[in-house]
Amino acid sequence: MSKYELVAGLETHVELATKTKIFCSCSTAFGGEPNTHCCPVCIGLPGTLPKLNKKVVEYAVMAGLATHCKISEISTMARKNYVYPDLSKNYQISQFDMPLCTNGWITLSNGRKIRITRIHIEEDAGKLVHSHGKTYVDYNRGGVPLIEIVSEPDIRSIDEAKEYVEKLQLLMHYIGISDCKMEEGSMRCDVNVSVRPQGSSQLGTRTEIKNMNSTGFITKAMAYEYDRQCDLLDSGKKVAQETLRYNETNECTESMRGKEDADDYRYFPEPDLPTIHVTPDWVEKIRMQLPEDPTERTKRWTEKLGVSETDAQQLIRYRNAADYFDKSVKGLKSGKAAASCILGQIFRRMETEKDKENFSPSVTPENFNALLKLLDTGKIHMNLVKSTLEKMLDTGKPYHEFLSEKDLAGVDDKQLEALCKEAMAKNSKAVDDYRAGKEKAVKALVGYVMKTTHGRADAKKAEGLLIKLLA
């Protein structure tokens, strides 16, 4: 066991899924030819005035409510002054002493709460493009609305950091305020890392690793930085407070500059924007529009509908699929079959992640629910559910277009025993193989029963009876 404890906090930047930028009407669409999604306002030409996008405030409030934050009735914008080529105004419009959301938390699977100090709104900067020894600036991203989610230094392991980021990513995407695509830069993390002796309550000197855009890089960078700081302390040296970048090629952190404090940015109130007033009534209206918390939703599925934890975690990744599932299992005792069919048969027909995100199968949840009720009441078995669902997906028609009265009558025990004996009589090789120790040979006999009954028989019951008859 190491004699040092890791202490970490994250500043997570999430680009909001508004159609236009935070202070102008330019498009927020990803990509496009460089410097085609910008205007005098978002590049800060003299004489221009910003106008706050109301949707940005609404999305930020949604993020605050989803993370248990207190929503400030009064908040203000501020100018954060620094000079860098991707910031054409030489200041960023952000929030400082009066942020929109404060004092929230994210609960990890181990029960620990990672406190959220604040969530504030701000504008994104442009992007530097390095090519053939030259550096170019693309201001398309400048003015894209962000929320910055700042945690307390409550993270105590790399695994906790990874889970925290993944939970934030799921939550922000799930409530519909961002696509959270880290590979496109719409979610990025600055990771603050320090170490201290085990048992100590005093925080060590922190370093900040900037602009991490994948959980894989975050875990590698944190592991390297933890080891580096431990080595420094073991050798009697001090950790310098500085800003670092992660070198993906060498898998190490590298110094960029000395770490800034708030005073270095010379914050002052933004003179061109009015105070933001968020009424309690508007907050409650937004709260009512939020979906069920994903953690609570998966808990309900596993505890009340018998869905496996693995299936629940897969379903919750896609909000539309999760909504479809809930409609499909309305009034049912179990959700296992619905989850299995959605993640199996329906997802197999969807080629891309975007298809799964949109999730618009040809079968309505109401028609799927009607089919599942036949299974729930024992009128048909799972194999017939699956074969019928395939036909429904092909045509969009309800189950009664494909299932006859005979199909719904099922196969009674006497008929099933007769069919099993018939299967054995007509498949002597499978019988001999099974009795010779090839246990999988029984599947051929089950297949005969299922084919003969057009899927009406209970496959598990048939297999059990066949094993008994073969003994």
| Token pair listed for 421 | 């004996």
Q: Mean pLDDT over residues 138-153, rounded?
A: 96
Three-state secondary structure readout of the chain: CCCEEEEEEEEEEEECCCCECCCCCCECCCCCCCCCCCCCCCCCCCCCCCCCCHHHHHHHHHHHHHCCCEECCEECCEEEECCCCCCCCCEEEECCCCCCEEEEEEECCCCCEEEEEEEEEEECCCEEEEECCEEEEEHHHCCCEEEEEEECCCECCHHHHHHHHHHHHHHHHHCCCCCCCHHHCCEEEEEEEEEEECCCCCCCCCEEEEEECCHHHHHHHHHHHHHHHHHHHHCCCCCCCEEEEEECCCCEEEEEEECCCHHHHCCEECCCCCCEECCHHHHHHHHHHCCCCHHHHHHHHHHHCCCCHHHHHHHHCCHHHHHHHHHHCCCCCCCHHHHHHHHHHHHHCCCCHHHHHHCCCCCCHHHHHHHHHHHHCCCCCHHHHHHHHHHHHHHCCCHHHCCCHHHHHCCCHHHHHHHHHHHHHHCHHHHHHHHCCCHHHHHHHHHHHHHHCCCCCCHHHHHHHHHHHHC
Query: What pTM does this model have?
Result: 0.85
Q: Mean pLDDT over residues 431-459, rounded?
A: 80
Q: Mean pLDDT over residues 429-438, rounded?
A: 82
- Check whether 458 has a pLDDT greater than 90: no
The larger pLDDT score, comparing residue 178 to residue 448, is at 178
Q: Where in the chain is the domain with CATH 1.10.10?
A: 413-470
- Check whether 10 has a pLDDT greater than 70: yes
- Check whether 345 has a pLDDT greater than 70: yes
Which pLDDT value is given to residue 452? Answer: 78
Which pLDDT value is given to residue 463? Answer: 82
The larger pLDDT score, comparing residue 395 to residue 422, is at 395
The larger pLDDT score, comparing residue 416 to residue 76, is at 76
| Token pair listed for 25 | 């009407």
Which pLDDT value is given to residue 188? Answer: 95
Give pLDDT tens digits for 305-314.
999 999 999 9
- Mean of pLDDT over the chain: 92
Contacts of 266-274 with C-beta under 8 Å, sequence gap 24+, read 266/81, 267/78, 267/79, 267/80, 267/81, 267/96, 267/97, 268/78, 268/79, 269/76, 269/77, 269/78, 269/79, 270/76, 270/77, 270/78, 270/79, 270/93, 272/49, 272/50, 273/50, 273/52, 273/77, 273/93
The larger pLDDT score, comparing residue 31 to residue 107, is at 107
Give pLDDT tens digits for 358-396.
999 999 999 999 999 998 887 888 888 999 999 999 999
Count of residues in the chain: 471
Give pLDDT tens digits for 250-300.
989 998 877 566 567 899 999 999 999 999 999 999 999 999 999 999 999
Q: Mean pLDDT over residues 77-87, rounded?
A: 92
| Token pair listed for 295 | 């953690």
Q: Mean pLDDT over residues 401-419, rounded?
A: 75
Asked if 161 and 10 touch (Cβ cutoff 8 Å), the reply is: yes
Which pLDDT value is given to residue 38? Answer: 94
Q: Mean pLDDT over residues 316-332, rounded?
A: 96
Question: Residue 442: which pLDDT band, with cuts at 50, 70 and 90?
Answer: confident
Give pLDDT tens digits for 52-70.
999 999 999 999 999 999 9
Which pLDDT value is given to residue 31? Answer: 81
Question: Residue 237: which pLDDT band, with cuts at 50, 70 and 90?
Answer: very high
Give pLDDT tens digits for 268-278.
999 999 999 99
Which pLDDT value is given to residue 262? Answer: 59
Which pLDDT value is given to residue 379? Answer: 81
d(CA 125, CA 88): 8
Which pLDDT value is given to residue 261? Answer: 63
Which pLDDT value is given to residue 260? Answer: 60
- In CATH, what is the architecture of 413-470? Orthogonal Bundle (1.10)
Q: Mean pLDDT over residues 72-85, rounded?
A: 94
Q: Mean pLDDT over residues 452-471, rounded?
A: 78
Which pLDDT value is given to residue 259? Answer: 59
